[in-house]
Amino acid sequence: MKKTKQVIGALLIVFAIAAMVYWETAGRDQIMTEKVLVAGADIAKGEKITGQLLSAASAIPETVVAGALKPDEINKVEGKVAAQAVAKNQQISDSLLSDPGEEEADKLSPYLIKSDWIDSRSSSLRRGDTVGIYSRNGDTLIGEFEVVYVKDASDKEITDIVSEDLSYVRQGKPERGVRDRAHGSGVVDHIEILAELYEYQRILKFVELKEEKLLIVQKEGER
């Protein structure tokens, strides 16, 4: 009887050790965490997402982001691209995915360059021009952009007032060169440029952090 108790005691000890090992190696994850898809490497905005770029990871429920994809949902990433830059080990969610066409269409948007941001600009600036945006003294180029709106202080679009002297008209079309814009319908107050979000954020950061106004330089030709 005593020997039987010793055997049972030894078995209970072995069982307890095995249970502890299982809990530490696998049980804790299975009970207290969820499996989610994460980026196995940094993924650039617009990059096509494939299964090779992803891996499965364990996360406690409180840290699982909304819309996070599970490993068995990896088929949802097929044919998708990253809607924004994704860091290594970042959870993959629906909001990070977009169709290639949608991503390209949403790439550029109009952004406002406020009047109080502008130190200097030409009065001949018009919609469709390409401009370089520089630091106030012109030593730092922030970027080149297409102008989509040129507005006065009342938010009306500024257009050319055609002179009665049409000597500059060629083949029935008025010359749109900068030097031929003698008269405008108003005074340029602010403009809107076509840019990507990160480009606009770069301008905003420059204005806010450096507390410096911008030099807007017209460029003849396309961007």
Q: 180 to each of 98, 156, 168, 219, how far by Cα in Å?
A: 45, 22, 8, 14
- Report the CATH number that the domain containing residue 68 is assigned in CATH: 3.90.1210.10
The whole domain housing 152 covers 109-219
> Would you say residue 171 lies in a domain?
yes
Model confidence over 164-176: pLDDT tens digits?
444 444 444 444 5
97 and 142 in a single domain? The answer is: no
Residue at 1 is within a domain: no
Measured between alpha carbons, how far is residue 19 from residues 7, 12, 13, 26, 108 in Å? Answer: 18, 10, 10, 10, 57
Do 116 and 100 fall into the same domain? no
Residues 130 and 55 occupy one common structural domain = no
126 and 100 together in one domain:
no
Q: Are strands 190-195 and 173-174 parallel, antiparallel or unpaired?
A: unpaired
One domain for residues 113 and 214: yes
- On whether both 91 and 117 belong to a single domain, the answer is no
**How many domains does the structure of the chain reveal?**
2
Q: What is the pLDDT of residues 8-61, one digit of tens each?
A: 656 666 665 655 655 455 545 555 678 888 988 888 888 888 888 899 888 888
- 211 and 137 both lie in a single domain: yes
pLDDT tens digits, one per residue of 139-187: 889 999 999 999 999 998 988 765 544 444 444 444 455 555 656 677 8
For residues 44 and 80, give the distance between their C-alpha atoms in angstroms, rounded to a whole number: 13
